[in-house]
A and B are shown apart, each in its own frame.
Chain A
């Protein structure tokens, strides 16, 4: 089955700086890669996603890049703000009939004002 590794597990940045979170996956047939943001005690919220036919996608301060050859994808947050502080999860949908997502271990992002 699919295996997703996420790094770093914690990330502390100064407000205004950029943050990068990286994930690798094992199933070369994976074709969908969403990123979720989860604030303490709340539900995961989709912030951006990318499909395997695209190398990069951007939405305002958030961007995701995908390298299918190397089987890794990254989340980039620019001009970070304190409200970006949360746990971020990457996920990959492998070659399965159930459309199941496999999640990375999460990254706790702290943006210091």
Chain B
């Protein structure tokens, strides 16, 4: 079974802090994704990576950056956290191809105070 592991289930940080969210997958998937989930808005793509050191902006990249130094690991970075970044963050991975389903981690609920 595919396992996507997010390092924290709950995280509380302060405004202005640099925040790292980590995600690891164990299925050798080429693609990895970071989504933000807010009530009534569904999932919105922040960043997508299709290979090591390769990334593409999603729909809402402002205020975020990502890092993919190894195939299995994809990190989301909030350079200077703000209260409007309080949300649920979901990491996913998949094989290459639009027909490939995405496999999700359990999410990190991030609160910025």
A, B in one complex: no
